[in-house]
Amino acid sequence: MTPQQASAETRRLCGLAPVIPVLVIEDAAKAEGLARALVDGGLPVLEVTLRTPAALEAIAAMARVPGGVVGAGTVLTPEDVQAAKAAGARFAVAPGATPRLLEACESADLPLLPGAATASEAMALLERGYDMLKFFPAEAAGGAKALKAIGAPLPQITFCPTGGITPDTAADYLALSNTLCVGGSWVAPKDAVEAGDWARITDLARKAAGLSG
């Protein structure tokens, strides 16, 4: 898979809904119900971060949910790439990018949404062929104003900002011409997931699906 093909696919996925849920799953038994709740609420693209022992099992469970597209987040190494793909991930998300990681995703035909926080990082990825990027950590890196400023000289790059974004700030990003969607964890509160309160999560997802800039 070429960088251009990877970016075309991640751009397609990012265009399916204004919010991609960023999920930290502690109990894989909750994964399928969580995925169904989010998909039912209008958020089909799901990012499961590889930060817990349950993450790969959760990806495998979510991959079976009709209408959902599950990917792996916090992908850092070639080993992560292989494990994520084997579990059923259809895309990968990284907080940054290294040559080894980029090569691993390209070789595995796993579309990558690589992270960038500066103009130089974005330019390096563009030089390789990636023009759909993750802006991370969004709020800590200056928020929507910073992303707008980066976009001025680099209009050919589109972003999915992630990191500290809330329902109150999401619209600021979505209003930018270089932002296609945002990543957010607020649609799956820890207490709701632990309680299996899928109705609450579906409601939060439905509200997030209706966001616009």
pLDDT, residue 212, reads 84
Predicted local distance difference test score (pLDDT) of residue 213? 66
Confirm if 13 and 38 have CB atoms less than 8 A apart.
Answer: no
Contacts of 126 (CB under 8 A, 6+ apart): 154, 156, 157
**Given 9, 30, 106, 134, which residue is catalytic?**
134
Tell me, rounded to whole angstroms, the distance of Cα 56 from its chain centroid: 16
Residue 47 annotated in active site: yes
Q: Indicate the SS3 state at residue 22.
A: strand
Per-residue pLDDT tens digits of the chain, which is 213 residues long: 999 999 999 999 999 999 999 999 999 999 999 999 999 999 999 999 999 999 999 999 999 999 999 999 999 999 999 999 999 999 999 999 999 999 999 999 999 999 999 999 999 999 999 999 999 999 999 999 999 999 999 999 999 999 999 999 999 999 999 999 999 999 999 999 999 999 999 999 999 999 986
Q: Which of 9, 30, 47, 106 is catalytic?
A: 47
The pTM for the full model equals: 0.96
Is residue 182 a contact partner of residue 160, using CB atoms and an 8 Å limit?
yes
Active site residue 32: no
> What residue type is 50 in one-letter code?
L
Torsion sign over Cα 205, 72, 48, 175: negative
